[in-house]
Amino acid sequence: MKAINILFIILRLVLGGAMIYGGLDKFQPNPSPIAVFEKAEKFKDPGKEDILQKILYISGSKQTGYFWQLLGICEIFFGLLVLLQYTSFVGAIFLLPITLNIFLFHAFLEADEIPGLLRTGAFFLINVALVLKEREKWKPLLWLKPL
């Protein structure tokens, strides 16, 4: 087995495992809207707007009653697809917008937290690498030749 194949197996395990872990974490009990409001009230000072943005973004997703859990289901399911050898490409394609959103969340709302930014950036780059590895499978879909 080539070293590059072993590397991609490790990358699949890292990305799939991280997505499954993150997906399972989304099924913890959601705070009540009143608790969210009270928590947000503590950070309404002008110097704490960045913390308030994060609280409102995540809490808003949780308060919908479906989005946070749906995101968790997708992370778990697509993470499992990435882990399985024959479905890893499909899982990587479906995970791409999710890992991009996670990275952009950290880039825009937690730019000062370098370890989190590097970790989520690494997940996104791993996802891109897994998709690009299989470019011969999807290249014909993008470069159609005229009849």
Nearest by Cα to 36 from 11, 12, 61: 61
Question: Is 35 within the bounds of a domain?
Answer: no
Token output for 116: 């989190």
Q: Got the DSSP string for 93-132?
A: HHHHHHHHHHHHHHHHHSTT-HHHHHHHHHHHHHHHHHHH
Domain count, the chain: 1
Question: Is 138 within the bounds of a domain?
Answer: yes
CA 5, distance to chain mean position in Å, is 24
| CA–CA dist 26, 12 (Å, integer) | 21
Question: Is 106 within the bounds of a domain?
Answer: yes
Question: Is 147 within the bounds of a domain?
Answer: no
Question: Is 112 within the bounds of a domain?
Answer: yes
Token output for 40: 């947000």
pLDDT for 59 equals: 86
pLDDT for 147 equals: 61
Question: Is 58 within the bounds of a domain?
Answer: no
pLDDT for 99 equals: 97
Other CB atoms closer than 10 Å to residue 99's CB: what's the count?
24
Question: Is 20 within the bounds of a domain?
Answer: yes
Other CB atoms closer than 10 Å to residue 96's CB: what's the count?
16
Question: Is 135 within the bounds of a domain?
Answer: yes
Other CB atoms closer than 10 Å to residue 11's CB: what's the count?
21
| CA–CA dist 106, 61 (Å, integer) | 16
Q: Tens digit of pLDDT per residue, the chain (147 long)?
A: 799 999 999 999 999 999 999 999 999 888 888 888 788 888 878 877 888 888 888 888 888 889 999 999 999 999 999 999 899 999 999 999 999 999 999 999 888 899 999 999 999 999 999 999 988 887 777 776 666
* DSSP secondary structure letter of residue 44: -
Domain range for 76: 3-30+65-142
